[in-house]
Every structure is written in structure tokens, then in C-alpha cells.
Amino acid sequence: MADRQHALDLDATDPLAGVRARFRIPDGLIYLDGNSLGALPVGVPAAVGRTVEQEWGTDLIGSWNANGWWDAPRRVGDRVGALVGAAPGQVVVCDSTTVNLYKLLVAARRLRPERPAVLIDADDFPTDRYIVESVAGASVARSLGPEVGVVVRSHVNYQSGRLHDLAGLTAAAHDAGVLVLWDLSHSVGVVPVDLDGAGADFAVSCTYKYLNGGPGAPAFAYVAHRHQEALRQPLAGWLGHAQPFAMAPGYEPAAGIGRVLAGTPPIVSLAALEAALDAYDGVSLADVRAKSVALTSLFIELVADRFGDAFSLASPAAALDRGAHVCLSHPDAYPIVQALIARGVVGDFRQPDLLRFGFAPLYSRYVDVWDTVDRLAAVMASGEWDTAAYRRRAAVT
Amino acid sequence: MADRQHALDLDATDPLAGVRARFRIPDGLIYLDGNSLGALPVGVPAAVGRTVEQEWGTDLIGSWNANGWWDAPRRVGDRVGALVGAAPGQVVVCDSTTVNLYKLLVAARRLRPERPAVLIDADDFPTDRYIVESVAGASVARSLGPEVGVVVRSHVNYQSGRLHDLAGLTAAAHDAGVLVLWDLSHSVGVVPVDLDGAGADFAVSCTYKYLNGGPGAPAFAYVAHRHQEALRQPLAGWLGHAQPFAMAPGYEPAAGIGRVLAGTPPIVSLAALEAALDAYDGVSLADVRAKSVALTSLFIELVADRFGDAFSLASPAAALDRGAHVCLSHPDAYPIVQALIARGVVGDFRQPDLLRFGFAPLYSRYVDVWDTVDRLAAVMASGEWDTAAYRRRAAVT
């Protein structure tokens, strides 16, 4: 990579180059935080406006049937499912990742009552660890033993970006009689996932990162067909009932994936997600993955060229072991991230010393990678990061 | 009530008459389903548009701080709290009613470990009953005994509209050493509620009925200050952690009401709710209650005058024992509701034989009550309800 022109040349031949026009990206901004909040797809404002003004404002309560609100968790679930290798009827969109993880973890443990321990890595995402501790109590395991009935694992680690072998780990767990609950939050939409092909059991994920569903967009839950009939989740709300409007005396779970539902879903946020998924129309996830690997590889290469060992790579060096974000470590990570934001490059800081950069192949360009490293060089050369203005603020997001 | 003009005269002197202009009500429609989905407040479309286009689309991830997304559950919670007599710091807006009920019920039972039973009426709302059964298992009680530690009750019953004595029942429960978890879904915004004054323990509610927050708008949860420090809820997500971005090894609940939070809230739906609450600016809940009592009383009086005993009143006859909706029973309730909808009056059907009409004092008028009864008379006189078109559809909402 001799110069910026080479990056521009790569963009010129990128099969996904045209997809960037499906998003509103502020002029001049290099947005490398799509792994935290995906950019706004162009069709979302009109779709949300229609949901609010026509469906809610005019059609009112009739919209539950006439405008498909009732079916939305399953309908949008099937669209998300198509991005993770799930045949229809196995995914619903509802609640948050935290809530869905809780529902499926309690349900999974009920399928393995004789093996109550739950395995989770000590460096997995906090919500995942906290929910496992809340559900399993003292029975949290750090390695696979005969007492473990369920493994909870992020497909891509939120910090390091390490990509786990979903199919291989699922098969190994099954050989040991163990169920696996995957958190796909950092892989859905950027890493090809084949849940059905891997014989996966359960999965959850947010939809506001690479799926661009909007801030706090409802999450999703996947339950393989073969587990659905026996599934008993604890948030036994009326929307998951076999006959919600019978107002029946006892809880009878709906047939199929519907039993994962609990309360009424946030329809306006769900409408944003549904419209956002149009950005994936006709997009090949193989192309997305290929570009993702190329973007992160280019970034790592340029950082090594320009900075030597001033920054340490805190993500796997092997491209196929990474998801779509890269972490660098530096003792002054926090003020450097702030100074970089001031130069129009939005990444984020993660405790204790990480600069995290997410590359969203649907709208991130090769030239953005070049310019990011160039601006980082300007930040470091000027020493501007080492000022009170950038050091003083505590990181809150 | 001799004639329609008298209803118009009541509207002319109604102190809340001007508040109707804060809503978009479709021309010619009499909407008596605000107890299921409140009408659209006029300021919501612009607020939602701003949240989507400016905050998400342009400000992107920085909006968590710059645009107050991070504080939204507490900020909007305090605004809702002001409508239910809760001093600041005791209400958060998040998740669904079902999920919040689960969180607070598990937490409440942990405060009464020696009294594991939970009391709930057999005719309470299905989600409430199902969640109690899910949490308490065989320990569901139908009357107060020494084994009962927590009572779950709807302030206003979703079918009959019966209004329970929140302060009296709370005091009686406390005398017996019992905690009370109120569901305010059918009273918030139409019945004055004084949670702090009543010494209430816990409450949950949806916000999409009389608060007009939009379809599936996030719900709220109230925890009295005195219970917060000891509160341990099971959905221990990172947003309820004392230091969410420390990504700490163990779960440490946030100080105060924040520990009720679990995962990321649906910001777009939350923005709709926040804007919707403007409809209550300067509105006296005493005026709302007075008009509500007058509307339901007028409706019951006119129905009795016009139909004799063709319809039975399935709500309390005493006005002060009712909330803001009225149920009539009739063996052909379902097709009659359908025929009435065809004549521009939207109420709803509830199993097995109920016509339910909700009167939202912020936009329902006295003349709407007169016209509703008039159109119901036309439906009954014509016999048009007794046709296959109105009989055939199964009720799904």
C-alpha cells in the first residue's frame, strides 16, 4: 500500500461500493463505530414516519392486523434469520439482547436439569457474564466439565474481535452432551453465519450494530426447530401464549418460536429495523466478509507501517480469526481516541487501554482506512492528544 | 340528557376541551380504544423524525451523551413519575410491562424469603397471572394468608374497569407484613395515583394506553426509595450496573432506580413517548378524573335509557368504583362491535361476551358519547350486526 491512490483504486473495484449510497453518512465523517451503532439507512425516516403518522395516527388500533404489527416479530425475525442461516420460524425480534439471553438461558438449563453449570469466558461481554451469574449462581464454570449443561459464548468477542468457530464449538459441545447459546451481536451482518448448518441450539443478538436497526432496536432470539416444543422460558407473557386473546386461566406457550415472546414489542423501533434490513437486499455475505477481511487487514498493515510498535495489536493477527473490528492498545488510548474524533474519525475507547475501530463493509471504504491512519499519524505527530481537553472527560460510552 | 345539544353544551364548558387539539384524531372517527392504543399526539412525528434523522443519522454514537439517550430512561421516568405521585429517582422507563413485572416480582419475593406465596386475583390481566405463575410456581394464592409475601394487583381491572383502593389495600397489606406490586396500566393518566403518598412499594405499567406513548412504547417500573438499596432483580444486564463501561468482572447494581435497567432501551420508541407526554403539560389530573367520571356515567345512563336491559353493565355502577372504560355484556358482542366499527365507532371486543369502550378525557368528547349510543341504536335497530360479514372473523385483537 504505497499511497492513498491505491486505496481509492480498491474502492473503485469494490463490488459493494454502491451499497454505501443506501446510507446517510455525514459529509466528511469517517465513522468507524458501526459496531456500536450502525449508520442510518436512507429508507428508515420515511418508514418510521409512515408507521407513526399513517399506521398509529390514522389506522390506530386496527394496525395490529391491517398493518402487520401483530406478525412483525416473526416477519422481521425471518428476515434476520435469512442473514444467519436460519430457516423461517426459528427467529423472533423482540426485547433486548439481555432479556432474550435470560429467557433462552433459563430455558436451556431446564433442558439439562442434571447439569446445572453454565460455561462462559471471563472476557465475554458484561451482560452475558452478569446474566449467566444471575441465572446460574455459584454454578458458573470456566472450563468444560461433566457438570456443565450449557455454554454461552459470543461469536465475535466485543473487545479483541476474536472470531470463534461456531460450527466446530457447537459440534464439540454436542459430543459432550452440552447445549450452546451463541451471542451474535458482533458477527451478524458481517460474518457469514449458518446456524442451521451448524446444528446450533440457541442464539441471541442485538440488531443495532452491523444490521443498522437504530439505537436500542429490538434484539432477536433463535431457537432451533428441534428445541421449540420443549422450550419453557420464564418470561411467560401474554404475547407468547397460544391464544393471547382467550385470556385463559393458565399459560399455554404458543406453538413454535412465538413462545419466546413476552410483552408488546416497541413497534416504532421495530419498523426502523425492518426498513433498515433493506440495506442488505441482494448483498452477498461472502462479499461482505471478503471486504471486511480486506479492510481490517489493510488497517493493521498501515498501522504497523506507520507506527511500528507504538500501538500493539489487541486483535488476532490472522485475518480469519477476526470479526470486523480491530483493537489497538496504547497507554494513552483514551485521549488519543478523543483527539481522533476531533479530526473527524469516530472510533471508540474501551477499558483499560484500547482504541476500537469497527469497519462496516456496507459503507466503510478503503480510503477511509487510509485516511484514518493518516489522521492518527497527525494526532500522534502533533502531540495534540496530550492536552487537558482530551484527557479530562471520563469515558461514559 | 334530553338530546345531543346537551352533550355539545357539556363540551362547550369542558375545561379540557382545548386539549383535544394536542392530538391527531381522524376526521369523523369516534375512537374509544385509547385504553388499548392512545391516539397520536401532534408533536410526536417531528420528535421522532428529529431522533432518527438528526440524532441517529447525523450525531450517531455521540447521541448517547450529547442528545441525552443515556439518561432517557430516568429522565422520562421522572416525567411519568410526576403523573403517579412519585418523587424523582423512583421510576425508569424501559422494557415491557411483562418484563418489568417479572423483574420486580422476583426482587420483591427476595425481600420476603420466608413468605414465598404471591396473591393475585383469578380475573387479573393474563400477563400478570402468567408471570406470577412462572415466578411463584405452586405458591400462587387467591387470598391473603400467612404464607403470602407479595400481592400483585391491577389498579383498574382490564375488563370490568373496577378501580381498587390503592392506598387502602397497600396499608392493609403492610399491616400484614406483605408487599404490593401494582399494575397501573389501566389507571395511569386517567385516575389520580399517589404512589408516594400511599407508601406504595412497587408498580409497573405500560405507557401506550392513556399516556399515548405509541404502539409497544417502553413500559415503566416504580420502586420506592426505601426498597432500592436492597433490590436485587434477576435481569442483571450491563445497563443496570454501577459502572457499565468498566466492563467489570462481577455485577454490581447501580445506585438507586437505575438497577432496574437491563439492556439497551428502544430509543426511537422512547422518543415518541417523551414527546407524547407533552399532551399532559398543565393538565390537572383532578380535571381528567372528573371528566372521566362524567363521560362513563353519561354513557351508562344513555345505554340504560335507550336499550333497557338488552345490554348488561359489566362494570361497577358506582362511578367512583370505575376507571375510565366501561364494559357491556351481550351474547352477540363480537358482531355488534364489528358493525359499530363499520359505523365509525372504535371500541373493542373482549372474551367471552363483552363490548369494551375506553373514554380518554384528553380527547374524548361528551358528544362522542351521545353519538356512540346513537350509532349503537342504529346498529341494533337495523339488525345489520347479524350478518355473516360481521360474525365470521375471529377476534385476534
Nearest Cα residue to A177 out of A115, A89, A86: A115
Give the nearest partner residue to A60 out of B37, B134, B241, using CB atoms: B37
Beta strand pairing call for B179-183 and B202-205:
parallel
Tell me which chain B residues have a C-beta less than 8 angstroms from the C-beta of A133: 236, 250-251
Cα B187 to its chain centre, rounded Å, is 6
CB contact under 8 A, B33 and A61: yes
Give pLDDT tens digits for B276-291: 999 999 999 999 999 9
CB contact under 8 A, A272 and B268: yes
Tell me which chain A residues have a C-beta less than 8 angstroms from the C-beta of B236: 130-131, 133-134
Tell me which chain B residues have a C-beta less than 8 angstroms from the C-beta of A395: 245
- How far is it, in rounded angstroms, from Cα B98 to Cα A235? 7
Give the nearest partner residue to A396 out of B39, B245, B270, using CB atoms: B245
- How far is it, in rounded angstroms, from Cα B57 to Cα B67? 12
Give pLDDT tens digits for B204-220: 999 999 999 999 999 99
Mind giving me the DSSP string for B20-70?
A: GGGEE--TT-EE--TTTSPPEETTHHHHHHHIIIIIIIIIGGGHHHHTSTT
Could you give the domains of chain A? 4-16+284-392 (3.90.1150.10), 45-280 (3.40.640.10)
Give the nearest partner residue to B57 out of A24, A36, A57, using CB atoms: A24
Going through chain B in order, the beta strands assigned E by DSSP cover 23-24, 30-31, 40-41, 91-93, 117-119, 140-141, 148-154, 179-183, 202-205, 220-223, 312-313, 325-329, 345-346, 348-350, 354-358
For range B129-156, the mean pLDDT: 96
CB contact under 8 A, A126 and B238: yes
Can you give the pLDDT at residue A84?
A: 98
Interacting residues of B55 by C-beta distance below 8 A, sequence separation 6+ = A215, B63, B67, B69
CB contact under 8 A, B56 and A40: yes
Spell out the alpha helix ranges (H) of chain A. 4-12, 44-50, 63-66, 72-83, 97-110, 126-136, 166-175, 195-198, 225-228, 267-276, 285-307, 333-342, 366-382, 388-392
- How far is it, in rounded angstroms, from Cα B147 to Cα B112? 10
Interacting residues of A192 by C-beta distance below 8 A, sequence separation 6+ = A85, A285, A286, A288, A289
User: To 5 degrees, how large is the angle CA B239–CA A274–CA A12?
Assistant: 100
Nearest Cα residue to A178 out of A255, A116, A240: A116
Can you give the pLDDT at residue B240?
A: 95
Tell me which chain A residues have a C-beta less than 8 angstroms from the C-beta of B37: 56, 60-61
At residue B389 the predicted structure's pLDDT band, cuts being 50, 70 and 90, is confident
Give pLDDT tens digits for B223-276: 999 999 999 999 999 999 999 988 888 999 999 999 999 999 999 999 999 999
In B, minimum Cα distance to A261 occurs at: B98
Does the pLDDT value for residue B397 go beyond 60? no
- How far is it, in rounded angstroms, from Cα B233 to Cα B262? 9
Cα B50 to its chain centre, rounded Å, is 27
Which residues of B are tagged catalytic? 125, 183, 208-209, 356
**Secondary structure letter of residue B326 according to DSSP:** E
Can you give the pLDDT at residue A139?
A: 95
For range B359-383, the mean pLDDT: 97
Gap from A144 CA to chain B (nearest CA, Å) = 20
Indicate whether this complex's ipTM tops 0.95. Answer: yes
Residues A128, A183, A201, A368: which is the catalytic one? A183
In B, minimum Cα distance to A352 occurs at: B246
Radius of gyration of chain B (CA): 22
Q: Is A349 in the active site?
A: no
Give the nearest partner residue to A397 out of B64, B95, B237, using CB atoms: B64
Give the nearest partner residue to B37 out of A61, A262, A395, using CB atoms: A61
Q: Is A125 in the active site?
A: yes
Neighbouring CB atoms inside 10 A of A119's CB total 23
- How far is it, in rounded angstroms, from Cα B256 to Cα A104? 28
Gap from B122 CA to chain A (nearest CA, Å) = 7
CB contact under 8 A, A70 and B397: yes
At residue B33 the predicted structure's pLDDT band, cuts being 50, 70 and 90, is very high
State the pTM of this model: 0.97
- How far is it, in rounded angstroms, from Cα B244 to Cα A351? 11
Best mutation target, A60, A232, A273, to test chain B (most B CBs within 10 A):
A60
In B, minimum Cα distance to A103 occurs at: B235
At residue B35 the predicted structure's pLDDT band, cuts being 50, 70 and 90, is very high
Can you give the pLDDT at residue A395?
A: 46
At residue B395 the predicted structure's pLDDT band, cuts being 50, 70 and 90, is very low
Predicted confidence pLDDT, tens digits, chain A (397 residues): 669 999 999 999 999 999 999 999 999 999 999 999 999 999 999 999 999 999 999 999 999 999 999 999 999 999 999 999 999 999 999 999 999 999 999 999 999 999 999 999 999 999 999 999 999 999 999 999 999 999 999 999 999 999 999 999 999 999 999 999 999 999 999 999 999 999 999 999 999 999 999 999 999 999 999 999 999 999 999 999 999 988 888 999 999 999 999 999 999 999 999 999 999 999 999 999 999 999 999 999 999 999 999 999 999 999 999 999 999 999 999 999 999 999 999 999 998 999 999 999 999 999 999 999 999 999 999 999 998 888 865 444 3
CB contact under 8 A, A126 and B206: no
In A, minimum Cα distance to B59 occurs at: A26
Residues A356, A357, A363, A365: which is the catalytic one? A356
CA distances from B109 to A164, B240, B317 (A): 39, 19, 36
